[in-house]
Amino acid sequence: MKPLNASLRSVAAAVLACTAGAALADVTVGVSLSTTGPSASLGIPQKNSMPYLPERIGGEAVRYIVLDDASDPTQGAKVARRFVSEEKVDIILGSSAVAPSIAIAEVADETQTVQLAFSPIELKPGRGEWTFRLAQPVRLMAEAVATTARANGVRTIGFIGFADAYGETWLREFTTAATANGIRLIATERYGRADTSVTAQAIKLMAARPDAILIAGAGTGAALPHTTLRERGYTGPVYHTHGAATKDLIRIGGRAVNGAILPAGPVIVPEQLADGNPVRKPGLDYVGRYEKQFGAESRTQFGAHAYDAGLVLQRIVPVALKSGKPGTPAFRKALRSALESERDIVVSHGVLNYSPQDHYGFDQRGRVMLTIENGNWKLLK
């Protein structure tokens, strides 16, 4: 092969320089999902929803690097470090579950990289400056459960929840909400996400004779206490958390879970929302896309968190591009500033208004109360 002459070499160098510049301009997004392990029922629909995220924003290409953290916090931290050290990501999405999300948040804080968490994680004071949530705060949902229970005549309640950060956060927030609504928590039990029996806990709860029982589980793991209580003869009301708002609860629980009451993101029932509700449009868009691809009633609120991340990116990336180029600390800082300053970001789960003091951003438009009626979700008015 003949060597390039000086003129051609100059042209080639210019082309390479432009190509390199374009590559550097790509917005790089690291996505850590729990597609295996105990939280796979949350992570798989999120992975399924990744094709709905935008490929270009503000004239820049967006590159997504999706890895599995196996529902494990140690693996989540490793994935996050790979994102920032090897892939030089501008932003991290995930994880699906609480424990790996917390581990990722520590890396995000250390490296000053924005994290959009798909879980309602609580962090140590002073450690959440770079973490924003796309899942509703437990406080918001706990208040909805408590006010609904009070309206239904509940005065005493029993609690059984995951023996991890999710269950403990729900126990703390619901205790506060219940007290404010004149409801006494008279029995408390815990169980593991991978447990196959909760008979002992169910017997203890029933012995306390509460007016109702709240189960703080997520995904498929939320069904076990409910079915066990019914099998042991409990006939009282059973409440769940938003972590249980998945068809897996109905599929596994069958008739036993009919009548269950739980909070959820409005994306679970966009068809039942009022026409003037701003969340109805993105909710219908997401559900329509997902169910066209994966079948009727395959929607989950967990998958919608990934879809919502795309809507948030479409709002904040153009703003951040005014202050810095992708791949730079200035751009990462500008992404955080945009999140804290942009108003009324409408997503399928609600309307987000983050601020320096509030990295959840949700108000009451981010929740609905549902019941299960004949195997389907029904909006409680």
pTM of the model: 0.86
The answer to whether residue 283 sits within a structural domain is: no
Q: Give the Cβ contact number of residue 125 at 10 Å.
A: 5
pLDDT tens for each residue of 165-213: 889 999 999 999 999 999 999 999 999 988 999 999 999 999 999 999 9
- 19 contacts: CB under 8 Å, gap ≥ 6: none
- Residue 90 has phi, psi (to 5 degrees) of -90, -25
Regarding whether 235 and 162 lie in a shared domain, the answer is yes
Q: Is residue 284 part of a domain?
A: no
> Do 23 and 107 fall within a single domain?
yes
Q: Is residue 376 part of a domain?
A: no
For range 89-112, the mean pLDDT: 96
20 falls within a domain: yes
Domain boundary among 264, 284, 313: 264
- Residue 150: inside a domain: yes
Q: Is the pLDDT of residue 125 over 90?
A: no
Residues 90, 122, single domain; the answer is: yes
Q: Is residue 1 part of a domain?
A: no
Distance, in Å, from the CA atom of 56 to the CA atom of 77, rounded to the nearest integer, reads 28
Pair 40, 94 in one domain: yes
Residues 146 and 119 in one domain: no
Q: Assess if residue 184 is contained within a domain.
A: yes
The answer to whether residues 219 and 113 belong to one domain is: no
| Rounded Cα gap, residues 54 and 336, in angstroms | 19
Confidence band for 162, pLDDT divided at 50, 70 and 90: very high
- If asked whether residues 122 and 40 sit together in one domain, one would say yes
pLDDT of 213-264, one tens digit each?
A: 999 998 788 999 999 999 999 999 999 999 898 888 999 999 999 999 999 9
Cβ–Cβ < 8 Å for 84, 128: no
Sequence letter at residue 252: I
Percent of the chain with pLDDT over 70: 93
Task: Please tell me whether residues 89 and 154 are part of one structural domain.
Answer: no
Helix (H) or strand (E) holding 308: helix 301-321
Contact of 132 with 339, CB cutoff 8 Å: yes
Q: How many domains does the structure of the chain reveal?
A: 2
CA–CA distance, 335 with 380 (Å, rounded to integer): 37
Whole domain around residue 157: which residue ranges? 138-264
Number of H helices, E strands in the chain: 12, 15
Structural contact between residues 353 and 132, judged by C-beta atoms closer than 8 angstroms: no
C-alpha R_g of the chain: 23
What count of other Cβ atoms lies within 10 Å of the Cβ of residue 219? 25
Four-CA torsion 344, 306, 370, 159, nearest 10 degrees: -110
Q: Kindly report the CATH number assigned to the domain that includes residue 313.
A: 3.40.50.2300
Distance CA 97, CA 222 (A): 14
d(CA 344, CA 279): 11
Same domain for 100 and 24:
yes
Question: pLDDT of 5-32, one tens digit each?
Answer: 433 333 333 333 344 444 456 999 999 9
Domain annotation covers residue 114: yes
SS3 content of the chain, % helix, strand, coil (to 5): 50, 20, 30
For residues 145 and 221, state if they share a domain: yes
Measured in degrees and rounded to the nearest 5, phi and psi for residue 270 equal -65, -30
Q: For the range 1-6, what are the long-range contacts, defined as Cβ-Cβ under 8 Å and sequence gap of 24 or more?
A: none
On whether both 215 and 129 belong to a single domain, the answer is no
User: Is 321 found in the same domain as 337?
Assistant: yes
